Amino acid sequence: MYPDAVSYPITRKKDTVLHIAVAAERTAFVKELVKRMNSDDLALKNSHGNTAICFSAASGIVSIAEEMVNKNTELPLIRGSRGRTPLYMAALQGHRNMASYLYSVTTFERLTAPERIDILVAFISSDLYDVALDILKKDPELSTMKNTYGKIALQELAKKPSAIGSKSQLSIWETCLNSWFRGMIYNKALMGTIAYQLVDLLWKNVLLLPERDFMELVQDHSSFLFDAARSGNAEFLIILIRSYPDLIWSVDQNKRSIFHLALKYRQESPDK
């Protein structure tokens, strides 16, 4: 192989050999290619603006991403198609291990605020609550920010009634068993507890807003209350109402309270 051949585009979409190898999930071949390439070669984009690590983020194979990032630590910050970071792509795909790895090697502070809120909501959407909670602890202002689609994080969690546990901490036995069996038995309980903590922290941060800003946010994004009621997301509503009881007086555009909606959809549910 000619030394420069690895950097030549070989498809109509200007994919390089590395793009193709990563997309084909040929781990051993990727490792050999990376050895022959310089760090700039790893950052080459195809006609859609994607680097090879964007393909890796979509595939979910962490070892391939590690090979490339070890040689060029800037790769996680190079935006791909539609200006998306590899981390955002992995979160959208729900690849837990890949998303967790890319989060660990992405300098979060170098992302824009819109990118950070999009990533947070993507993690929530894909049920990756542990990383979402870590993001929120580092950047609490995301609690009140809107993502690209005009949604706040609470609106995403409101639609997940089966995700949120009924307590903020695991019991001692659950903690021990989760550790001993590496999450195989109590992973669901752990994620439920973390989701509970996530809702609780989001809401506490929202409550820190000045009264006028708080009321405006609740009014503009009131769907998080009514979506929770419609989906039977009782734990979500309990967390919110416990800290701000006046929410019980909230009504939708048809003048129905969250309790009216909860009762209506419970009666219509085939699982009642």
158-171: average pLDDT: 69
End-to-end CA distance of the chain: 66
264 pLDDT more than 80: no
Domain termination site, one of 111, 140, 168: 111
- Tell me whether residue 143 is in a domain: no
Mean pLDDT of the chain: 87
The tokens 């040689």 sit on which residue?
Answer: 71
The CATH number for 88's domain is 1.25.40.20
> What's the rounded Cα separation, in Å, for the pair 166 and 236?
9
What is the percent of the chain where pLDDT is above 90? Answer: 65
> What's the rounded Cα separation, in Å, for the pair 40 and 52?
12
270 & 155 share domain? yes
66 pLDDT more than 80: yes
- Give the residue numbers spanning the domain of 229: 151-272
**Residue 190 has what pLDDT?**
76
- Tell me whether residue 5 is in a domain: yes
**Residue 247 has what pLDDT?**
85
> What's the rounded Cα separation, in Å, for the pair 93 and 60?
8
**Residue 179 has what pLDDT?**
55
239-248: average pLDDT: 90
Domain termination site, one of 79, 111, 143: 111
Domain termination site, one of 50, 83, 111: 111
pLDDT tens column, 46-63: 999 999 999 999 999 999
9 & 62 share domain? yes
**Residue 192 has what pLDDT?**
82
pLDDT tens column, 69-110: 999 999 999 999 999 999 999 999 999 999 999 999 999 999
191 pLDDT more than 90: no
pLDDT tens column, 165-186: 654 554 454 454 445 545 444 4
30-41: average pLDDT: 93
68 & 166 share domain? no
10-18: average pLDDT: 92
- Tell me whether residue 137 is in a domain: no
Q: Are 132 and 191 in contact (CB under 8 A)?
A: no
260 pLDDT more than 90: no
Per the structure, the count of domains in the chain is 2
202 pLDDT more than 90: yes
> Out of 9-18, 25-34, 184-193, 231-240, which region has the weakest mean confidence (pLDDT)?
184-193
> Out of 35-44, 134-143, 186-195, 259-268, which region has the weakest mean confidence (pLDDT)?
259-268
**Residue 184 has what pLDDT?**
47
**Residue 207 has what pLDDT?**
96
Which runs of consecutive H residues, i.e. helices, occur in the chain? Answer: 17-23, 27-36, 52-59, 62-71, 86-93, 96-105, 113-125, 129-138, 153-158, 172-180, 187-207, 211-220, 223-231, 234-243, 258-268
Which of 112, 125, 204 minimizes the C-alpha distance to 157?
125
- Tell me whether residue 70 is in a domain: yes
- Tell me whether residue 126 is in a domain: no
pTM of the model: 0.86
What is the percent of the chain where pLDDT is above 70? Answer: 84
1-27: average pLDDT: 85
